[in-house]
C-alpha cells in the first residue's frame, strides 16, 4: 500500500499516493464522484463510483493496478 497522506474535508476524502499511475485521488462520499490526478497532471472525474469500490482501491496492495482494472473503464468519466 502506498498512501502518502490522507485527509477528510467535509464529505471529501483526499488521498495522495505513490503510484506509477496517479498521484492523487479525491472522493466525494455524497456525489460518489472520484477525481484522479495522474502523474502527468491531467485530471479525470469518474461518476457514480460506490464508496466500497473507492475503499477497496485505497486499501489495495497497488492503487494504480486496482484503478486500471476496476475503475478506469467501468465508470463514466470526463476530463477536467
Flag whether pLDDT at 48 surpasses 60: yes
5's grid cell:
497522506
Its pTM stands at 0.91
Summarised one tens digit per residue, pLDDT across range 16-27 is: 988 888 999 999
Flag whether pLDDT at 10 surpasses 60: yes
Summarised one tens digit per residue, pLDDT across range 23-47 is: 999 999 999 999 999 999 999 999 9
Helices and strands in the chain, H and E counts: 2, 6
Which residues, 6+ apart, have CB-to-CB distance to 69 below 8 Å?
Answer: none
Amino acid at each position: 500500500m502506498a498512501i502518502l497522506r490522507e485527509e477528510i474535508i467535509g464529505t471529501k476524502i483526499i488521498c495522495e499516493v505513490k503510484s506509477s499511475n496517479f498521484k492523487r485521488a479525491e472522493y466525494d462520499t455524497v456525489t460518489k464522484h472520484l477525481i484522479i490526478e495522474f502523474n502527468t497532471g491531467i485530471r479525470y472525474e469518474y461518476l457514480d463510483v460506490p464508496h466500497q469500490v473507492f475503499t477497496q482501491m485505497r486499501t489495495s496492495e497497488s492503487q494504480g493496478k486496482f484503478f486500471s482494472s476496476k475503475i478506469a473503464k467501468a465508470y463514466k468519466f470526463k476530463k477536467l
